[in-house]
Amino acid sequence: MNLILKNGRLFDPAQGLDQTGDVVVQGDRVRDLGTDIAAAGPGVLDCTGLIIAPGFIDLHVHLREPGFAYKETIASGTRAAAAGGFTAVCAMPNTNPVNDDAGGTAYLLQRARESGHARVYPIGAVTAGSEGEHLAGLGAMREAGAVAFSDDGRPVMNAQILRRALEYASMLGVPVIEHAEDLHLSAGGSMHAGAVALRLGLRGISSASEATMVARDLLLAEETGAHIHIAHVSTAASVRLLREAKTRGVRVTAEVTPHHCILCDEDATPYDTNFKMNPPLRTAADRAAVVAGLADGTLDAFATDHAPHAAHEKLQEFDRAPFGIIGLETALPLGLRLVETGQLSLARLVASLTSAPARAFGLPGGTLASGSLADLTVFDPAAAWTYDPAQGASLSRNSPFAGWKLRGKAIYTIVGGRVVYSARTPEL
């Protein structure tokens, strides 16, 4: 099937492209970029006033299937991804069972083929059961399709195990993703350790609990020459360490979430568990530092850490409720808010959603270049709307942004030349 996207603003940081024009899609590939390509009919999408970008890639998503289908399924999670403009998501392995062997990885890919609305790239566990003691079946998972390894949700506390994982994964040509958190420093904590936690009487998670692990991880990456990816960076100290390491040529990439770029601990409604996530919302200074890190490329990717939880799980005492918020459907407008306020260029935002994550994990896509995969995100940067999680595609509602007035929305999400999401249903 052919598809022609007419008269949009072609925006592809990978090629330095920013011009009005058309995109011709043939099969699952971009065939041509041009202007005034004569076309009409059902395969033509009018993109006047819209931005046509490479498909967004989210490096950090929890799809919860198998094991927690009441929170999210591959179908619902990828539908939420498509609605947010994401054409591909990397799925964390902390399901039940944990994705720690080739069977688990193959199952995920099979379910994604059957019910997915976006591409799903499996991330395998670093250690068996993510328990931190023995390496999981890394080679077999890689062969089955894993694109990276992580015990996300927890760190690999044992430095020797992490070192070996880095060495082994580098042989397989993929990164190890580290959830950087010293569990001794963060034990019992439920929000950032600071004046707000003190006032609310909540045990704190110090900034050092993240930064000390980032420092350790960088030293191990440097010593092994392997590629480490630091997940959801939240502190100014981590950004400083990463910037310095990148300058020295350490093979490291990193991501930051929209919520850590937009909110700080003082913004949280006291005891509202929709503001409980790990790492926690930090200080205003940390928030500014991660945004600066995203702007200058120290932090490569804008990733959601989409973490769905059922309402009854969140409706608990703050210290008992699980960590995590959903984020696939709000990432784009929250990123555009950074652009609107002058903290980030549009080119850098789009790059952090497309070419940078593709490069970090060696994934296809991330560009509009002729011949590349026809994964495309068409969005309206000016569309004003009010976010209501109940109207979203995710099975869960746990977002601190409920009721927020947002600007910017995906209009078409196209995966492999197929429109998987349209805000203009009649045209489909």
Partner 1 sequence: MNAHPEPAHVLGIEGLPLARIEQFLSLAAAFQKTPPPRMLTGKRLLLLFYEASTRTRTSFEVAARRLGAETVSVSAQASSIEKGESLLDTVYTLRAMAIDGIVMRHASSGAPRLVADHADVPVINAGDGMHEHPTQALLDGFTILRHRGSIAGLKVAIIGDILHSRVARSNILLLSRLGAELRLCGPRTLLPPEFAAYGKNVRLYGELEPALDGADVVMVLRIQMERMHESFFPSEAEYVSRFSVTAERLRAARPDALVMHPGPVIRGVEISAEVADSPQSVIREQVENGVLIRMAVLHTVLGAKR
Q: Which lies closer to partner 1 via its Cβ, residue 272 or residue 388?
A: 272
Q: Would you give the DSSP letter of residue 132?
A: S
Nearest-approach distance from CB 204 to partner 1, in angstroms = 9
Whole-number minimum distance, CB 198 to partner 1, in Å?
Answer: 5
CB of 36 to partner 1, least distance (A): 58
Told to check if 32 binds partner 1 by CB under 8 A, we report no
Q: At what angle do helices 346-353 and 284-295 cross, to 10 degrees?
A: 80
At CA 362, angle to CA 358 and CA 363, rounded to 5? 55
Residue 184 found at the interface with partner 1 (CB under 8 A):
no
Closest to 82 (Cα-Cα) out of 375, 363, 383: 375
* 3-state class (DSSP) for residue 357: helix
Helix/strand/coil for 348 = helix
Q: Given the rule CB under 8 A, which of 117-125, 311-319, 383-391, 408-416 is the region that contacts partner 1?
A: 311-319
Is residue 390 close enough to count as binding partner 1 by CB under 8 A?
Answer: no
Classify 9 as helix, strand or coil. Answer: strand
In whole angstroms, give the CA distance from residue 353 to residue 355: 7
Among 41, 201, 249, 342, binds partner 1 (CB under 8 A): 201
Nearest alpha-carbon partner for 93 in 133, 57, 117, 120: 120
Q: Is 312 in the site for partner 1 (CB under 8 A)?
A: yes
403 binds partner 1 (CB under 8 A): no
- CB under 8 A: which stretch of 71-79, 196-204, 214-222, 331-339 binds partner 1? 196-204
CB of residue 192 vs partner 1: minimum separation in angstroms?
11
Catalytic positions are: 305
Site string for partner 1, 61-100 (x = CB under 8 A): ----------------------------------------
The reply to whether 270 sits near partner 1 by the rule CB under 8 A is yes
202 in contact with partner 1 (CB under 8 A) = yes
Structure tokens belonging to residue 266: 């003082």
Rounded distance between C-alpha atoms, residue 260 and residue 423, angstroms: 28
Shortest distance in whole angstroms from residue 397 CB to partner 1: 16
* CB closer to partner 1 out of 114 and 317: 317
Count of residues of this chain found to bind partner 1 when the rule CB under 8 A is applied: 17
Q: Which of 42, 320, 341, 425 binds partner 1 (CB under 8 A)?
A: 320
Q: Got the DSSP string for 33-99? A: EESS----STTEEE-TT-EEEEPEEEEEE---TTT-TTT--HHHHHHHHHHTTEEEEEEPS-SSS-S
**Binding segment (CB under 8 A) for partner 1, from list 71-79, 314-322, 334-342, 347-355:** 314-322
Q: Residue 217 phi/psi, 5° resolution? A: -65, -40
CA angle 111, 112, 117 (to 5 degrees): 135
Provide the binding-site residues for partner 1, judged by CB under 8 A: 194-195, 198-203, 270-271, 312, 315-320
